[in-house]
Amino acid sequence: MSKIISIIQKISHGVTWRVLHFYHAVFKNYTNNFWAILYAIKTQNAYKKYTKGGQHVLPQKLIVSLTSFPPRFGTLDLTLKCLFLQDVSPDKIILWVAEDDKAQLPPSVTALISDDRFEIRTCADTASYKKIIPALAQFPSAFIVTADDDVYYAPTWLKGLIDAWDGSNQTIVAHRVHKIMMQTDGNPAPYKNWMFDIQTHTNTHYNFATGVGGVLYPPYSLDSRVQDEGKFMALAKGADDIWLFWMGRLQGSKTIKAPSNYNFVTWVGSQKTALYHENVLYNKNDDRISSMMKEYGWIEF
């Protein structure tokens, strides 16, 4: 009987994966690309006449931090311009790239350093972790907002994160949040069984921030072990959302969802190397979660 159940599960997984793949390859991408073209035109036109946004009200410096790599360089300037066009202005916008990649940055990106808020810095090539780990090391007392390099961010995006912060350094704020579902044995359910992109704003310790929406990390909201490169590359390579979630829990922090319901649009052609394909479609997230559970366990509050 167990062998029959195993076969059924394998068939079910195979069908599920193919349906998801077809959906993302055809329907979702078609709709996304339509909006991406419109937003790209809107962003370029707005940037030609933009003025600096208002001053933020946070008690420490505000750093918007992101990373990129050559396959995304072609549309990177669009995301950066979205960050310049925010209603609230950060103190710094920092793009982190690997030393070997810096020479490949196109003029559309390097020309933006004429804005005194924008810097391009190099760091160790730790893949997606480049968007936050070096910023945590160099700006330990700052509020750090992470952004992805392939997304359109509306002008209200940054202000929405700031306005939702409740004043506690143990409150992390995200625009896009999943809710972790628990099993009867007290362990997290498989990733595919979580509640994705929840629209309620209930604050629980089961809220899981996803980086695509942007996340605000107050100073010291993450455990000091967050910068342990050996650990995060071994336990959660390519899954920074999972690593950062655990580091928040170890610090006693919770994640709240900002009262916004964005439908995040990615630039045309930017998803050929997306981690989604490995982490979600191939169930790699469950492997990383299992590794984190073995190392740190499930932290209850």
Domains and CATH numbers, the chain: 2-296 (3.90.550.10)
Which residue type sits at 17?
W
pLDDT the model gives residue 202: 73
Question: How many residues would you count in the chain?
Answer: 301
For residue 271, name the pLDDT band (cuts at 50, 70, 90): low
Burial class (CB in 10 A: 0-12, 13-18, 19+), 215: buried
Q: Tell me, what's the pLDDT at 32? A: 86
Residue 275 has pLDDT above 70, yes or no: no
pLDDT category at 20 given cuts 50, 70, 90 is: very low
Q: Per DSSP, what are the bridge partners of residue 151?
A: 266
- Which residue pairs from 277-281 have beta carbons closer than 8 angstroms and sit at least 24 positions apart in sequence? 278/238, 279/238, 279/239, 280/20, 280/191, 280/192, 281/17, 281/20, 281/21, 281/24
Distance between CA atoms of 138 and 71, rounded to whole angstroms? Answer: 27
pLDDT at position 30 over 90: no
Cα 18 from chain centroid (whole Å): 25
Section 261-281 average pLDDT: 68
**How far apart are alpha carbons 265 and 210 in whole angstroms?**
14
Above 90 in pLDDT, residue 31? no
Per-residue model confidence (pLDDT) at position 17: 43
Residues 81-125 pLDDT 10s = 999 999 999 999 999 999 999 999 999 999 999 999 999 999 999
Query: What pLDDT was estimated at residue 12?
Result: 47
Share of the chain above pLDDT 70, in %: 86
**Rounded Cα–Cα distance for residues 22 and 71 (Å):** 23
Antiparallel, parallel or unpaired: β 254-257 and 215-217: unpaired
What is the reported pLDDT for 272?
65
Tokens of 205: 């310790």
- Residue 16, pLDDT above cutoff 80: no
What pLDDT does 1 receive? 47
User: What is the model's pTM?
Assistant: 0.88
pLDDT tens digits for range 45-57:
999 998 999 999 9
The pLDDT, as a whole number, for residue 201 is 76
Residue 13 confidence class, pLDDT cut points 50, 70, 90: very low
**pLDDT surpasses 60 at 135:** yes
Question: What is the C-alpha separation between 214 and 209, in angstroms, rounded?
Answer: 9
Question: d(Cα 231, Cα 217) in Å, to the nearest integer?
Answer: 20
